[in-house]
Chain A
Amino acid sequence: MFNLVYGYETDAIVLNPMFKSSSPSDFWGRRWNMVVHTGLKNGAYKPMRKLTNSRILSVLTAFFLSGIIHEYVNLVLYYEKGIAFEWKQVLFFGWNGILILLEYCLSSFPLFQWIGKNFPPIIISILVISSALPLAHLFLGDYIKFGYFDAVFMAEPVVICQSNFS
């Protein structure tokens, strides 16, 4: 991989998902981690689509696999800290797969058509992000708990204001 990328331009892997997502499928399919998306699309979605011809099953398979991969990555990263396989990532990614299926089913409804045409893009993006936020702790909780962000903290200049009233 090192030799492969040596001296060549790379694609941006994150394309402003927080402020420009127009739907859950736009968020996961065109804005969030494009490399993983491409891998899952070619490795899970397309083969399952070919096998079953079911869009629903293919989407759920891709997200289920994504959840398993994330769970495995966390197991490897935090093995020494006693992390266990608890299906949290699978639940989070499963929920997002369901959101995409809901989008397929509901996007032709007049209310959603109206929202798509009349709401500013930033508001639509906020609504998209909000649909996944209630379960986002399942995805990010382990990173907070087991020190991922603490490791980031070590590499960043940070200004901390402390007050002592006692």
Chain B
Amino acid sequence: MFFSCTFSIRFDPKTEKPIPVSSAYLVQQLKVIGRDFGIMCVVMSILAPYGWELFETGHEVNSFDHSLLDMFSWQHLANNLFATSKSIAFLKFMQILYHIILTLHTFMHEY
């Protein structure tokens, strides 16, 4: 939740006013979030049994112990790639989810 709280309003370039949410926008956002949710489920299902590190590197993940050779080992790079993908997907997912919750709340009040 913390990481998803930073978002900015989209302004109409002509009128320079904020663009109100439309149902088409909401449907489009729901499609994106559905796709991202699926991707995240797959990635999490693969990585969870391995403690988020698919390959053994012999080092604590958050340590300074990695030598130059370790940092360029394919196991280390692959672990980092998976973790990066996961964090990008989650950041995007939570930001949209958080906004959809706010938007639905607005819709319920208006209609």
Closest to A143 in B: B87
Q: Which residues of B contact A161 (CB under 8 A)?
A: 49
A interface, over-half SS = helix
Please indicate which of the listed interface residues A9, A11, A134, A140 has the most CB atoms of chain B within 10 Å of its own CB: A9
A144 near B83 with CB under 8 A, answer yes
How many positions in chain B have a CB within 8 Å of any CB in the partner chain?
51
B62 near A145 with CB under 8 A, answer yes
Q: Which residues of A contact B53 (CB under 8 A)?
A: 144
A13 near B9 with CB under 8 A, answer no
Q: Which residues of B contact A134 (CB under 8 A)?
A: 71-72, 76-77, 80
B80 near A13 with CB under 8 A, answer no
A10 near B83 with CB under 8 A, answer no
B77 near A133 with CB under 8 A, answer yes
A6 near B102 with CB under 8 A, answer yes
Q: Which residues of B contact A13 (CB under 8 A)?
A: 6-8, 91-92, 95
A4-37 interface code vs B (CB 8 A; 1 in, 0 out): 1111111111100110000000000000111110
Give the contacting residue for B41; candidates A2, A17, A140, A156; CB below 8 A: A156
Please indicate which of the listed interface residues B20, B62, B72, B110 has the most CB atoms of chain A within 10 Å of its own CB: B62
A137 near B66 with CB under 8 A, answer yes
Closest to A150 in B: B52
Q: Which residues of B contact A102 (CB under 8 A)?
A: none
Give the contacting residue for B2; candidates A33, A77, A86, A156; CB below 8 A: A77
Please indicate which of the listed interface residues B8, B45, B48, B88 has the most CB atoms of chain A within 10 Å of its own CB: B8
Closest to B103 in A: A7
Q: Contacts A140-B87, A156-B40, A156-B44: A7 and B71 contacting too (C-beta < 8 A)?
A: no
- The contact sample of 22 A-B pairs, CB cut-off 8 A, is A2-B102, A5-B99, A7-B102, A7-B106, A7-B110, A9-B18, A11-B7, A12-B92, A14-B91, A18-B85, A33-B6, A36-B6, A129-B81, A129-B84, A133-B84, A140-B61, A140-B84, A141-B61, A145-B61, A149-B83, A158-B48, A162-B49
- Beyond contacts A9-B10, A156-B41: 17 other A-B pairs, Cβ-Cβ < 8 A, are A1-B5, A13-B6, A13-B95, A17-B88, A33-B6, A38-B8, A133-B77, A133-B80, A134-B72, A134-B80, A137-B79, A140-B84, A141-B60, A141-B62, A145-B61, A156-B37, A159-B45
